[in-house]
Homo-oligomer: A and B are copies of this chain.
Amino acid sequence: MNRISDATITRLSRYYRSLVHLETQGQEMVSSKELAKRHKVTPAQVRKDLSCFGQFGTRGLGYSVCQLKETIAHILGLHRIWKVALVGAGSLGSALISYKEFKRQGFHIVAVFDNDPHKVGKKRRGLTISDITKLPKIVKELDINLAVVAVPTTAAQSVVDILVKAGLKMILNFAPETLKTPPGVTIRNVNMAIELEALSYRLVASEMSRLDGKPKLSSI
């Protein structure tokens, strides 16, 4: 398998969503041009992204929606089940446990950790919250593949250090903080705070332009 960039993987995820949608609409074939238009990239980019994983399309006909969808699902491991350790049993963590989309994508939370003695031992949707010090042992016992970090910003780096020491190589981080990881560990960030700040900036900018009587900046 060649080295595939994060940007390509993100685009594959997006193509996958379109293919699922097209399939529910009963469309059987799709051209690189149509996929490109939906995702604001060039048809050449679509063909290049897909060619990383072998030949699928037929010149003049395009790609079979069903076949391409299944191939991308396979590449992205979407039919697999991954075992997840959740760190942080606060409001966000609790929501993630019951978040259906999470499970639908094959991410099964099998263990929950916190360092708050008031939470340890209690249950969240059938899972008992364990003390964070037990994480290394439980990760090994349950053969956990990845960890989700849903702790306050101030605790995030120390949690990541514990996860790395426990041998976990994949981390999904919800704390609004750039975290350090050694080479060989992949961390992905779901950055609600940064998205909120971008919206906040646009709100300020659009208010200022309204006051100036200038055109709104919100569509930049």
Contact = CB atoms under 8 A, between A and B. Distances in A.
A168 to B, nearest CB: 11
Given A82-B203, A98-B91, A197 B76 contact: yes
A44 interface: no
Given A13-B197, A204-B75, A219 B185 contact: yes
Contacts of A217: 1, 3
Given A38-B178, A39-B178, A92-B99, A184 B13 contact: no
A43 to B, nearest CB: 17
B203 A145 contact: yes
Given A95-B95, A216-B184, A170 B9 contact: no
A204 to B, nearest CB: 4
Interface string A94-119: 11101111100111000000000000
A218 interface: yes
Nearest to A181: B219
A33 interface: no
A56 interface: no
Contacts of A78: 197, 200
A146 B199 contact: yes
A77 B203 contact: yes
A184 B219 contact: yes
Band of interface residues on A: 35 or more
A6 interface: yes
Contacts of A184: 216, 218-219
Contacts of A75: 201, 204
B219 A183 contact: yes
B80 A91 contact: no
Interface in A53-109: 75-78, 80, 82, 91-92, 94-96, 98-102, 105-107
Interface of A: 1, 3-6, 9-10, 12-14, 16-18, 38-39, 75-78, 80, 82, 91-92, 94-96, 98-102, 105-107, 145-146, 153, 169-170, 172, 176-178, 183-186, 188-206, 208-209, 216-220
